[in-house]
Amino acid sequence: MKRFFLSTVPLLILSCLGVSRVFADSLAAPVNVTIKALKYNSAVVTWDIPEGDLVIGFAITQQKKDVRMLRFIQEVNTTTHSCALWDLEEETDYIVHVQSISMSGPMSQHSEPLRFRTPKESETQASKNKDEVTMEEVGAQLRAGEFIIIVVVLIMWAGVIALFCRQYDIIKDNEPNTNKDKAKTSSECSTPEHPTGGLLRSKFPKNNNNNNRAPSVNIIEV
């Protein structure tokens, strides 16, 4: 990549030295020339190339309004469509032309002139401070959003824990009633001699001793 520029050269001297450009009829001039990132002392000029043109570089002519002095910037072996302008003066009007350079060397016609004015340095600083404040506000909003999300999650967890505790209390309250029902069912099936239930035995004990058996008496009526 090769880059050349001539700074503050009078147009008359360029004409006398024969630095007139040979324009290629087949190469169209750049279009959509615009200025971006404009500051009090610098700017960036951008452009588009018509489709189908074989371009290997560009040339930019920068001139102050109402002043017959210009800056010529040329760059080859590049496909970029932008160029930075530096050492500008604040509150100054400028005119910029862009040309394309073909593979064979000739340049295209000049693009439509682009006029722009640099702002005051104080205005640039104020705009910068405004952008910084805006970023701080965005950061504060993001932090507030994160805090809200954390609070919502904590509330949800508290609700889940409260629901679990309530269900646990209900289960604990039902356990005594269940034990009472079991005890009632068991008492209905029990006897005084068998509190836990069972068969009712005779209250008269059996005497298996034959010697103590009372004699039987048979009475016969005539």
Global model pTM greater than 0.75? no
pLDDT score for 99:
95
| Residue carrying the six token digits 């919502």 | 152
Contact 62, 84 (CB under 8 A): no
Length, in residues, of the chain: 222
Summarize pLDDT for 107-123 with one digit per residue, the tens: 899 999 999 999 998 87
What is the spatial distance between Cα 137 and Cα 141, in angstroms, rounded to a whole number? 6
List the domains of the chain with CATH numbers. Answer: 31-126 (2.60.40.10)
Residue 11 structure tokens: 């147009």
Residue 25 structure tokens: 């009829």
- Give the phi and the psi of residue 12 in degrees, each rounded to 5: -65, -40
- pLDDT of 19 higher than 60: no
Summarize pLDDT for 179-189 with one digit per residue, the tens: 666 655 655 55
Contact 35, 43 (CB under 8 A): yes
- Give the phi and the psi of residue 173 in degrees, each rounded to 5: -70, -30
Q: What secondary structure does DSSP assign to 44-59, as a single string? A: EEEEE--TT--EEEEE
> Which three-class secondary structure string do you get for 107-168?
ECCCCCCEEEECCCHHHHHHHHHHHHHHHHHHHHHHHHHHHHHHHHHHHHHHHHHHHHHHHH
What is the spatial distance between Cα 64 and Cα 115, in angstroms, rounded to a whole number? 9
- pLDDT of 38 higher than 90: yes
